[in-house]
Structure 1
Amino acid sequence: MSQSPDWRNRRWAATHQRIYDAAIALFQQHGFESVSVGQIAREAGVSVPTFYAHYPSKEHVVMQLPTADDLAALLATQPADLPVADRIRRAAPAWFAQWSGDFRAAQLARWRIIASTPSLRTRAAEFERATAGMVADALPGKTGTSLGPGDAVVINAYLSALTAGVLAWADSNGEAELEQLVEEAFDALQRH
């Protein structure tokens, strides 16, 4: 008797979460650089190939990109006639408002690991650029136009400011308000 696709999906999701939980716990305990994929797999009760079936690298456990669909849905709520910067500024607090308490705590844990690991702070810029590409794809231009090169610069700058705000939040161990830090980073960008 074969297993149903729903059962396989639930099993895959449970394994994915188990790997994530084991990795985050190990990173918090020993530091990101000191933990190997083999240790994560062992702690999660999976093989190393199973780890790689779920995550391309240990960096991808903590450096997670939003999906293109999630970004498109979030940015679709913003009027296309607003400048790109304004749409991003308005979308950020809407995104944070969607976070449950548990999700916010998980984000803080991930970003604290990123903030405390120099190689991950640097790697965040790569993920930021990938996200900027998805934002550019998701943002429609004004009626009858497409986004131009200047818009790409604005998107990258605002995502960099967003990352700076999130890193400041992580550096404060969540004691500072995330939304305020991101707003301050956006304000600094707009002033200069």
Structure 2
Amino acid sequence: MNRPGLRERKKIETLHRIQGEALRLFDEQGYDATTIEQIAEAAGVSPSTFYRYFPVKEDVVVQDEYDPMIVRVFESQPADAPPLEALRAVLADLFAQFTAEDFERIRRRVRLIFAVPALRARQLQQTTATERLLAAMVAERSGRSPEDLEVRHFTAMVVASWIVAIDTWAHAGDEDLVAVMDRCLVHLEAGVPL
């Protein structure tokens, strides 16, 4: 897989620092009581730098760097791999790069998203953007339009599977995220039997 360059890594480090301080402050004072100015000060950045990374306060929890990474790994999959197989490989490859700290940050973010209504609403917008991104990738691979009903339905089901897996993992805490996500995708691939 192509690794991000130095500049991109520095941006990700700053994003993680701001996000980490925000999560700490949310734990200490609550989401609503924490201001952007407090987060920026704790992270050692200006409020304008905060806004360059996160256009609104909700984004400090909802936003991450994973969509571009998913695109890079998906594009590196064999051209003849079916979309679901390629997406399963993407998750395995992507999560293999994550540290225990990365997984803990995801867990904290997910728990907060499910606890704060404003974050759930913002997450819905992010989910729609991810579905569109996946639809474009899947459409290109399958020679179809990203607007085809079947392409949109497929990518919506994949993203829904990811959400269920991440929520289950974040609240159960004793399973491996990769295994839970793969289990959901295998279930989807099997036609979602009960």
TM-score range, shorter chain: 0.7 to 0.9
- Cα gap change, 1:88/1:175 in structure 2, threshold over 3 Å: closer, same or farther? same
Contact kept, 8 Å, 2:69 with 2:94, in 1: the verdict is no
| Contact residue 58 and residue 118 of structure 2 kept, 8 A | no
Structure 2 spans left out of the alignment, 5+ residues = 1-5
The Cα of 1:166 is off from its aligned counterpart by 0.8
Identical counterparts, % of pairs: 26
Task: Tell me the secondary structure at the aligned position of residue 42 of structure 2.
Answer: helix
- Aligned residue for 1:34, secondary structure, equals coil
- 1:131 matched residue in structure 2: 130
Indicate the residue corresponding to 2:174 in structure 1.
175
> Is the contact between residue 66 and residue 131 of structure 1 (CA under 8 Å) also seen in structure 2?
no
Matched, 1:161 2:161: yes
* CA displacement, residues 84-117 of structure 1 (integer Å, 9 cap, x when unaligned): 2332233222221221233222222322322332
Q: Tell me the number of residue pairs that the alignment of Structure 1 and Structure 2 aligns.
A: 182
> Secondary structure of the equivalent of 2:141?
coil
SS at match of 1:80: coil
Residue in structure 2 matched with residue 150 of structure 1 by the alignment? 150
1:112 corresponding residue in structure 2:
111
Distance 1:187 1:138, change over 3 A: closer
Report the CA distance shift for 1:118/1:154 in structure 2 as closer, same or farther (over 3 A).
Answer: same
Aligned to 2:192: 191
Runs of 5+ unmatched residues, structure 1: 1-5
2:3 corresponding residue in structure 1: none
Q: TM-score, length-normalised on structure 1? A: 0.76
Structure-2 residue corresponding to 1:60 = 59
* 1:60 CA drift (Å): 1.3
Please identify the structure whose Cα radius of gyration is greater. Answer: 1
- The whole-number CA distance in structure 1 between the counterparts of 2:100 and 2:119 is 25
Structure with greater contact order relative to length (CA < 8 Å, sep ≥ 6): 1
Shift of 1:156: 1.5
TM-score, structure 2 normalization: 0.75
Partners in 2 of 1:54 and 1:163 — Cα distance? 24
After superposition, where does 1:30-109 map in structure 2 within 5 Å? 30-66=29-65, 69-109=68-108
Q: CA deviation at 1:154?
A: 0.4
Note the C-alpha offset of 1:175.
2.2
CA distance in 1, matches of 2:192, 2:14: 46
Q: Which amino acid aligns with 2:31?
A: F
